[in-house]
Amino acid sequence: MIQDNEWSKVSVMPGHVLSRCATRNDGDMSVTTWFVTGASRGFGRELTGQLLARGHRVAATLRRPEQLNDLAGRHQDRLWVRALDVTDTGQMRRVVAEAFTDLGRVDVVVSNAGFGVFGAAEDLTDAQVEAMIATNLTASIQLARAVVPYLRGQGGGRLLQLSSMGGHIAFPAFSMYHATKWGIEGFYESLAVEVEPFGIRTMLVEPGMIRSTFYEAATRVPVSPPYRGTPADRTPVPLEQMPGDQAKVVATMIDAALAPDPPRRLLLGSDAYRLVHDALVARLAGVEAQRDDASSTDVDGWSQP
């Protein structure tokens, strides 16, 4: 693990050098290095900006690096930028390797890239289904697989995955998004236990409805005639009716990631707390109601070891 007196001086972009910075290993990480996917807009852009403003250094990845030219102009010594299409696993592995090689150490990896498609499941195209899974689920899994060996090799780190309250609950006309979030929640539930012995802590970030560019960037598929007037025929919620503040969400993410004992799940937004809480209470009640039926299917004479 890196100690207070260990420093790194590494190249960022051609012609630029990162300033020396220390990373503490006792939870009080005053200056840290972050790797962020999907840094072009929304949470990724906000996260990159807030981290740089706090004095941290950021390895920001996105499809079009020129979208961060304004930040690069102000924070050249602490911003490392690379083009990355997260659905290209080979490219992702190369960029991850380059980041850890150039920066010497990455303290926090944030898997943020993703998008939404609104529409009844039947109305989505095959291409939309495949793209959602490739970007929101498969790419998130492959990023975790790519960075874990480096985090393990350096003695630990933090791995944050952007999930959603939609990883616990589901709304009509958003089925594929929920499929990817429920899927990544299950992956991280297992991964967390696998990697904690190596000093790697994971966190699923689960926001509610946040006023961000996510909704304006989402694809909306018109409902076909059979679904008109059904629950799938939903009117979009206006941004001004959403409770979540993007800047506050990101600030809380940063604080939680740098806490000595970060939570495995981080619910953000009063709506997220209320809806997830109510869903889990109802689900538990349903489980309790099935106790006798569940036990009735055991082999005769079986008892808990």
Q: Are 40 and 63 spatial neighbours (Cβ–Cβ below 8 Å)?
A: yes
Residue type at 82 in one-letter notation:
R
- In this structure, what token pair is assigned to residue 82? 């690379």
Longest dimension (CA), the chain: 73
- Number of separate helices (H) and strands (E) present in the chain: 10, 13
Q: Which of 40, 111, 140, 163 is catalytic?
A: 163
pLDDT digits (tens, 9 = 90+) for 205-224: 999 887 887 777 788 999 99
Q: pLDDT digits over 1-45, tens only?
A: 333 223 233 333 332 333 333 344 434 458 899 999 999 999 999
pLDDT at 29: 55
Please report, as a single letter, which amino acid is at residue 77: D
CA 292 distance to own-chain centroid: 38
Told to judge if 273 belongs to the known catalytic residues of this protein, a careful annotator would answer no
Which candidate, 108, 94, 270, places its Cα nearest to that of 200?
108
- Summarised one tens digit per residue, pLDDT across range 61-103 is 999 999 999 998 898 889 999 999 999 999 999 999 999 999 9
**Structural tokens at position 289:** 């109601």
Which of 22, 20, 30, 28 has the alpha carbon at shortest distance from 3? Answer: 22
How many Cβ atoms are within 10 Å of 41's Cβ, its own excluded? Answer: 15
Q: Which of 40, 140, 177, 212 is flagged as catalytic?
A: 177
Q: What is the dihedral of CA 37, 42, 47, 48, to 10 degrees?
A: 70
150 is catalytic: no
Residue 188 is a catalytic residue? no
Q: What is the pLDDT of residue 234?
A: 87
Element (H, E) at 49: helix 42-53
pLDDT at 180 over 50: yes
- Please name the amino acid found at residue 165: M
Please pick, among 150, 164, 181, 215, the residue that the annotation labels catalytic: 181
CA torsion, ordered 171, 175, 177, 179, to nearest 10 deg:
110
Neighbours of 256 (CB within 10 A): 17
Q: What is the pTM of this model?
A: 0.87
Long-range contacts at 238-242 (CB < 8 A, ≥ 24 apart): 239/211, 239/215, 240/211, 242/208, 242/209, 242/210, 242/211
The pLDDT of residue 235 = 86
